[in-house]
C-alpha cells in the first residue's frame, strides 16, 4: 500500500482519462491520493473532484504565484472550505522567489496568514519552496507556534542542514520524481541520511515524471517507481518503504480512518 501525498489530478492533462488513471493507480497499490489546490478556484474544484472518489483527499491553499489573491475575503473562504471532510491539509503554500512572482513581502504575508489558518483549522501544511530556502526556514522558525499540526516539505530538494531544521520543527520531507533523476546525487545523499520515519512519497503529477519514464505525463501510478528508487537509496526493501511512508502519511493527514 502506498499514499501519493501530492498530486494535481484536476489538471487539464488528466481531463480525458482520469478514471482510468485512478483505477490503474489503485492496481499499482496507491490506495490514497491527495490532490492539491493552488488558489481558491482550484481548491474548490479539487474538493468537488474528490467527492466523486472514496480514495481521493484534498489540500487547499494559495500558492505563492497567487499570493496577491490572499485577501481577507478569500482567506475567510479558504478557512470555510478547509472544514470540508475531504480536506486534510492546507497547501500548497510557501515561498518562491523566481522572476515574475509577487513580491517577497506579499508572498510572506500570504504564507503567514495561511499558517495561522492551518493552526486554527487544526490541519497540517504542505509547503512549496523554490529559490527561497533561507527565508522559508526563517518564517517557519519565527512562527513555529502555528505549525503544531505538522506538515511536509513538498518536492524537497534542499541540503541535509535544511532538512534537519524542518524536522526540528516537526515537519516531514516528501520524496518525488526528482529523486530518481540521474543528476540528483546530492539529493540522494541527503535522503540517505533522513530517517525513514520522516519521509513520504508524492508525484506532483502531471509534472516531474520519474526516471525512466521522463518525457511521459506523470501520474500517481508512478509512486512505486519513486519508492523503488528510495529503497535503493536507503538500502531497505520496497516493502519497508511502502509500510513506513504509508504509516507516516496516515498519521499526518488522518485519512481513510486508518491513522495511528
Q: For the segment 143-156, what is each residue's pLDDT rounded down to a tens digit? A: 999 999 999 999 99
Q: What size, in residues, is the chain?
A: 260
Task: Enter the C-alpha cell of residue 51.
Answer: 467527492
CATH for 2-253 is 3.20.20.140
- At 37 the pLDDT is 96
pLDDT value of position 260: 41
Q: What's the pLDDT tens digit per position in 32-78?
A: 999 999 999 999 999 999 999 999 999 999 999 999 999 999 999 99
- What gap in Å lies between CA 232 and CA 238, rounded to an integer? 8
95 φ, ψ (degrees, to nearest 5): -135, 145
Q: Which three cell numbers stand for residue 91?
A: 497547501
Per-residue confidence (pLDDT) for residue 257, from 0 to 100: 60
Q: Take residue 138 and report the three cell numbers written for it.
A: 526563517
What's the farthest any 2 CA atoms get from each other in the chain? 49
Map grid coordinates 484534498 to a residue: 58
> What was the pLDDT predicted at 100?
96
Q: How far, in Å, CA of 12 to CA of 206, rounded?
A: 9
> Given this model, what pLDDT does residue 207 score?
96
Task: Look at residue 259 in the predicted model and tell me its pLDDT.
Answer: 46
The residue ranges of every structural domain in the chain are 2-253
Answer positive or negative: Cα dihedral of 107, 110, 116, 119.
negative
- pLDDT, one tens digit per residue, over 78-129 is 999 999 999 999 999 999 999 999 999 999 999 999 999 999 999 999 999 9
Q: Which residue has the cell 505549525?
A: 147
Which cell numbers in the block locate residue 236?
A: 531497505
pTM: 0.96
- The CA R_g of the chain, rounded to the nearest whole Å, is 17
How much is the pLDDT for 24?
97
Q: Label residue 221 by pLDDT band (50, 70, 90).
A: very high
Collapse the DSSP code of 95 into the 3-class scheme (helix H, G, I; strand E, B; otherwise coil) and give the result: strand
Query: Judging by beta carbons within 10 Å of its beta carbon (0-12, 13-18, 19+), is residue 37 exposed, middle or buried?
Result: buried
Element (H, E) at 145: none
Q: Average of pLDDT values for 10-37?
A: 97
Q: How far is CA 90 from CA 62, 73, 161, 210, 238, in A?
A: 9, 17, 25, 25, 29
Spatial strand order in the sheet of 125-130: 2-7, 30-36, 56-60, 87-96, 125-130, 151-153, 171-175, 199-201
Sequence-ordered list of residues with C-beta below 8 angstroms from that of 66, at least 6 positions apart, any chain: 38, 39
State pLDDT tens for residues 155-210: 999 999 999 999 999 999 999 999 999 999 999 999 999 999 999 999 999 999 99
Amino acid at each position: 500500500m502506498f499514499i501519493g501525498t501530492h498530486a494535481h489530478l484536476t489538471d487539464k492533462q488528466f481531463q480525458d482519462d482520469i478514471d482510468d488513471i485512478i483505477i490503474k493507480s489503485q492496481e499499482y497499490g496507491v490506495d490514497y491520493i491527495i490532490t492539491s489546490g493552488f488558489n481558491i478556484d482550484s481548491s474548490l474544484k479539487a474538493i468537488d473532484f474528490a467527492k466523486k472518489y472514496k480514495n481521493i483527499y484534498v489540500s487547499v491553499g494559495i500558492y505563492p504565484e497567487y499570493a496577491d489573491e490572499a485577501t481577507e475575503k478569500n482567506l475567510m473562504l479558504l478557512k470555510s472550505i478547509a472544514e470540508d471532510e475531504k480536506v486534510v491539509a492546507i497547501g500548497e503554500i510557501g515561498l518562491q522567489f523566481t522572476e515574475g512572482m509577487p513580491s517577497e513581502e506579499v508572498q510572506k504575508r500570504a504564507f503567514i496568514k495561511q499558517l495561522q489558518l492551518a493552526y486554527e483549522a487544526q490541519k497540517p501544511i504542505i509547503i512549496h519552496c523554490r529559490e527561497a530556502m533561507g527565508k522559508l526556514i526563517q518564517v517557519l522558525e519565527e512562527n513555529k507556534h502555528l505549525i503544531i499540526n505538522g506538515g511536509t516539505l513538498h518536492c524537497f530538494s534542499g541540503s541535509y542542514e535544511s532538512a534537519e531544521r524542518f524536522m526540528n520543527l516537526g515537519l516531514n520531507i516528501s520524496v518525488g520524481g526528482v529523486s530518481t533523476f540521474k543528476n540528483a546525487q546530492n539529493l540522494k545523499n541527503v535522503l540517505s541520511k533522513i530517517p525513514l520515519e520522516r519521509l513520504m512519497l508524492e508525484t506532483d503529477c502531471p509534472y516531474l515524471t520519474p526516471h525512466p519514464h521522463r518525457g511521459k505525463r506523470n501520474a500517481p501510478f508512478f509512486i512505486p517507481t519513486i519508492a523503488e528508487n528510495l529503497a535503493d537509496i536507503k538500502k531497505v526493501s520496497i516493502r519497508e518503504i511502502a509500510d513506513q511512508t504509508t504509516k507516516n502519511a496516515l498519521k499526518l493527514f488522518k485519512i481513510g480512518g486508518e491513522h495511528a
